Amino acid sequence: MIEEIREYWNRRPCNIKHGQSPVGTPEWSQEVTARKYYVESHIPGFAQFERWKEKRVLEIGCGIGTDTVEFCKAGAYVWAMDLSERSIELAKLRCSQASFSVGNAEERLPSVQFDLIYAFGVLHHTPKPWAVLANAHRQLKWNGGELRIMLYAKWSLKHLLGQQPEAQAGCPLARVYSKREARQLLERDGFEVVSIEKTHIFPWRVKDYIQHRYVKVWLWRWMPMKLFHWLESKLGWHLLIVGRKV
């Protein structure tokens, strides 16, 4: 299963098509970042990049390094790892400050005590998420250390409508979790859940979105933003979870 997952993300690293310029160029990197935080505007607030200045950050499943770049810009000392060799290759082109490695987080993590361990949209794709969390528990600092992860939500509009979980079809593994199940997952490995929130409904019409045009589906086009955000808190696709070591 791990090799199948690795091959899937090597074929098309996550968000590689967010940029329209030639892949690997500075222009492409800027376009990827701009699109990522436009369509998932909750990420900077959840990651709190500036908060980790001069702190040690481990990013599990860094992909092509969009969040990695922001942690480094904020002055964090960043270790970033991913199962996909192609993703790490592209991440290295975008960010020279981080320490990158290809690896399976179920087996081992860097032997450093971290202030933050961050995994956004990653653990639901691995066969043994509890093994990753057990490793994370060992490498997270006791005093002030935080775990910040995003898991896909079971009680979400996307899952209830049966939509495919990723932009490319054929994802080998994509689990979904209720808030209760997510809490149990963390608690089994010795974490206390500090907060858990739900957000993110994708409002864009796909045929336009893939052409880099932003046209909302008719239902969302006329909905007041206050109501839309309330609905995201009930039926959003992303569970944003903060934990600490106990």
Task: Output DSSP code: residue 22.
Answer: P
Q: Among candidates 69, 80, 158, which has minimal Cα distance to 119?
A: 80
Task: Output DSSP code: residue 51.
Answer: G
Place of tokens 């864009």: 204
> How far, in Å, CA of 179 to CA of 109, rounded?
26
pLDDT digits (tens, 9 = 90+) for 142-172: 999 999 999 999 999 999 999 999 988 999 9
How far is C-alpha 49 from the geometric centre of its chain's CA atoms? 14
pLDDT in the model for residue 158: 97
> How far, in Å, CA of 245 to CA of 174, rounded?
26
User: Which domains does the chain show, CATH number per domain?
Assistant: 2-200+238-245 (3.40.50.150)
> How far, in Å, CA of 87 to CA of 102, rounded?
9
Q: Are 97 and 78 in contact (CB under 8 A)?
A: yes
pLDDT in the model for residue 222: 93
pLDDT in the model for residue 45: 98
CA atoms within 13 A on the CB side of 240: 17
pLDDT in the model for residue 87: 98
DSSP structure string for 133-169: HHHHHHHB-SSS-EEEEEEEBSSSHHHHTT--SSSSS
The alpha carbon dihedral of 151, 157, 162, 163 has a sign of: negative
Backbone angles phi, psi at 19, to 5 degrees: -105, 150
For 131, residues 6+ apart whose C-beta sits below 8 A from its C-beta are: 106, 107
Q: Are 150 and 125 in contact (CB under 8 A)?
A: no
Q: Among candidates 111, 131, 126, which has minimal Cα distance to 61?
A: 126
> How far, in Å, CA of 123 to CA of 60, rounded?
9
Percent of the chain with pLDDT over 70: 100
Rg of the chain over Cα atoms, rounded to whole angstroms, equals 17
Q: Are 138 and 130 in contact (CB under 8 A)?
A: no
β-pairing, 99-102 with 116-120?
unpaired
Task: Output DSSP code: residue 135.
Answer: H
Place of tokens 């490319």: 168
Tens place of pLDDT per residue across the chain (246 aa): 999 999 999 999 999 999 999 999 999 999 999 999 999 999 999 999 999 999 999 999 999 999 999 999 999 999 999 999 999 999 999 999 999 999 999 999 999 999 999 999 999 999 999 999 999 999 999 999 999 999 999 999 999 999 999 988 999 999 999 999 999 999 999 999 999 999 999 999 999 999 999 999 999 999 999 999 999 999 999 999 999 999
Burial of 107 (0-12, 13-18, 19+ CB in 10 A): exposed
Q: Are 47 and 119 in contact (CB under 8 A)?
A: no
